[in-house]
């Protein structure tokens, strides 16, 4: 890309002047960097726009250079923050760097915000506490793990050795919604389509594309109607099921505030938006990375065949680090704020600026991550920022931590796993989400399905 070429030329010049071991630009060289970036305004702006839309494939080479020459980049009223410590600082200061999707969340729900779009407040704490009480950590091992293992294995076996990983990874979480949440959709595909459109609208469409807006409003209306009907039907005909919806209705009967039908529907809607598209994207992109690495693929397959779920997860999430769900998390500065104050890279982000806290870049920052360009499964958990950081860390992180490798486990366990021939075997996208990744394989090697 043009920007990468410009940055590489800039770094080459700086290495000549400052030595190849320089890690941070200071003095007169810092001014030269600013002037060079100003001269590349169109290229920088294009890079930032693609980051905002999450359509940029493999931004890490640009991030790698920015971490050295301009760790906090300002362009088009957007700040791109690339160092590990600075990304965490931005995401931990939720009072200053606020979520961007509250207004859109109100459109999706038809009038009310959902806690993912809220600042820290009594309503936020109330709603989060309610949903944590109905989506219990112990459910992961007792309910979700065996369900995902069984469902994924059945779908993989039924594929006859010709599988679209994107279809698999959309179908399994849709069925989790039907069973664990207690909200059977009209069809797996329809629910996945609704969630994908709404996720794009809420979290990646920062340029407010009218086509995305129109599609999201239609999907939101259908999703609300489905959930309203589901809640009403359950109240009219109780099932006694110990699922999320039944637990929500129990809180309603106990008179807890915020758990009327509308509150339950909005909380479920907000959670369901993120339940399917991100899971599918992570599964497809992680497997794609493993398919690019024959030695690591073989090791991951051995772990899957041995039934070592923890080891499978380590391979999957290290693979995902090389092409994560999103390049970063987006925020809006509520006031002027200096990031990395007291360091040579300190920069003041002005009030009203959009901020990209580049979590992908953070996971490759060699100041915190040992040998970041190597594929290693011995990394400490703090390295991985797949779920974000701070107040708005992914609510479903404990489910996703087992769901993503759980979906891929029976695929990895199969013999002769390889990409399908031609373009079908390449990871393909529709907008910011994978649309297809087809693989072929022989018989599965008899892993336990829990």
Same domain for 427 and 280? yes
Per-residue DSSP letter, 392: T
Q: Does the pLDDT at position 444 exceed 70? A: no
Are 48 and 115 found together in one domain? no
Q: Give the burial string for 310-331 (b: 16+ CB within 10 Å, else e).
A: ebbbbbbbbbbbbbbbbbbbbb
User: Is residue 367 in some structural domain?
Assistant: no
CATH classification at residue 233: 1.10.630.10
How many CA atoms within 13 Å lie on the side-chain side of 21? 0
The phi, psi pair for 357, rounded to 5°, reads -85, 100
Cα 12 vs. chain centroid, distance in angstroms? 34
Q: Which residue has the higher pLDDT, 449 or 294?
A: 294
> Of 149-158, 201-210, 338-347, which range is least confident?
201-210
Tens of pLDDT, residue by residue over 67-76, are 999 999 998 8
Residue 372 lies in a domain: no
- Classify residue 347: in a domain, yes or no: yes
Residue-wise pLDDT for 247-265, tens only, equals 999 999 999 999 999 999 9
Query: Is residue 73 domain-shared with residue 122, that is, in the same domain?
Result: no
**Residue 371 resides in a domain:** no
Q: What angle do CA 64, 65, 67 make, to 5 degrees?
A: 70
CA distances from 426 to 171, 234, 293, 409 (A): 20, 43, 14, 20
Q: Is residue 14 part of a domain?
A: yes
- The tens digit of pLDDT for each residue in 18-33 reads 887 777 787 778 888 8
Q: Who wins on pLDDT, 30 or 64? A: 64
C-alpha–C-alpha distance, residues 405 and 301, integer Å: 12
pTM: 0.93
The pLDDT of residue 448 is: 46
Residues 160 and 78 in one domain: no
pLDDT band for position 115 (cuts 50, 70, 90): confident
User: In angstroms, what CA-CA distances link 188 with 2, 97, 192, 194, 219?
Assistant: 41, 36, 6, 10, 14
| Residue 369 counted as domain residue | no
Residue 150 sits in the same domain as residue 247: yes
| Statement to judge: residues 172 and 309 lie in one domain | yes
In whole angstroms, what is the distance from residue 56 CA to residue 40 CA?
Answer: 18
Q: Is residue 450 part of a domain?
A: no
For 195: left if phi > 0, alpha if psi spans -120 to 50, otherwise beta; the answer is alpha
Q: Are residues 298 and 337 part of one domain?
A: no
CA angle 184/186/192 to nearest 5° reads 85
**pLDDT score at 51:** 82
Show the domain range for 60. Answer: 2-96+326-362
Counting the structural domains of the chain, the total is: 2
The mean pLDDT value for 220-240 works out to 95
Within a domain: 448:
no
User: Residues 75, 102: one domain?
Assistant: no
* Co-location of 90 and 220 in the same domain: no
Residue 324 backbone dihedrals phi, psi, to 5 degrees: -75, 175
Q: In this structure, are 116 and 146 located in the same domain? A: yes
* Whether residues 64 and 128 fall in one domain: no
pLDDT tier at 98, thresholds 50, 70, 90: very high
Burial of 107 (0-12, 13-18, 19+ CB in 10 A): middle
Residues 346 and 249 in one domain: no
């Amino acid at each position: 890309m043009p920007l990468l070429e410009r940055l590489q030329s800039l770094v080459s010049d700086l290495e000549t002047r400052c030595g190849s071991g320089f890690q941070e630009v200071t003095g007169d060289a810092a001014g030269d960097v600013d002037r060079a970036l100003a001269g590349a305004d169109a290229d920088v702006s294009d890079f930032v726009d693609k980051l905002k839309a999450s359509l940029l494939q493999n931004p890490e080479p640009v991030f790698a250079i920015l971490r050295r020459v301009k760790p906090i980049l300002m362009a088009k009223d957007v700040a791109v923050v690339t160092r590990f410590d600075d990304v965490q600082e931005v995401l931990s200061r939720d009072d200053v760097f606020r979520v961007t999707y509250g207004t859109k969340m109100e459109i999706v729900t038809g009038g009310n915000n959902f806690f993912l779009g809220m600042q820290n407040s009594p309503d936020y704490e109330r709603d989060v506490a309610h949903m944590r009480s109905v989506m219990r950590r112990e459910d992961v091992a007792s309910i979700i793990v065996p369900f995902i293992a069984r469902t994924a294995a059945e779908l993989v076996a039924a594929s006859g050795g010709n599988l679209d990983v994107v279809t698999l990874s959309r179908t399994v979480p849709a069925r989790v919604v039907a069973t664990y949440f207690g909200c059977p959709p009209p069809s797996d595909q329809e629910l996945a389509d609704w969630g994908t459109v709404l996720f794009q609208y809420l979290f990646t469409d920062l340029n407010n594309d009218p086509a995305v807006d129109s599609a999201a409003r239609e999907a939101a209306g259908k999703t609300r109607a489905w959930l309203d009907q589901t809640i009403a039907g359950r109240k009219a005909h109780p099932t006694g099921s110990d699922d999320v919806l039944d637990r929500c209705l129990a809180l309603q009967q106990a008179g807890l505030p915020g758990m009327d039908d509308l509150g339950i529907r909005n909380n479920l809607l907000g959670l369901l938006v993120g339940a399917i598209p991100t899971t599918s994207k992570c599964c497809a992109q992680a497997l794609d990375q493993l398919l690019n690495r024959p030695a690591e693929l073989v090791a991951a397959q051995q772990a899957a065949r041995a039934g070592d779920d923890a080891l499978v997860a380590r391979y999957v999430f290290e693979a995902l680090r090389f092409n994560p769900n999103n390049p970063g998390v987006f925020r809006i500065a509520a006031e002027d704020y200096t990031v990395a104050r007291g360091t040579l890279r300190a920069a003041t982000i002005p009030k009203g600026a959009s901020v990209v806290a580049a979590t992908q870049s953070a996971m490759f920052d060699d100041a915190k991550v040992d040998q970041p360009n190597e594929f290693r499964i011995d990394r400490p958990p703090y390295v991985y920022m797949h779920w974000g950081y701070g107040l708005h860390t992914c609510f479903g992180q404990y489910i996703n931590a087992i769901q993503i490798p759980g979906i891929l486990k029976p695929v990895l366990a199969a013999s002769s796993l390889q990409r399908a021939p031609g373009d079908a075997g390449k990871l393909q996208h529709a907008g910011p989400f994978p649309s297809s990744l087809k693989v072929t394989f022989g018989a599965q090697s008899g892993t336990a399905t829990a």
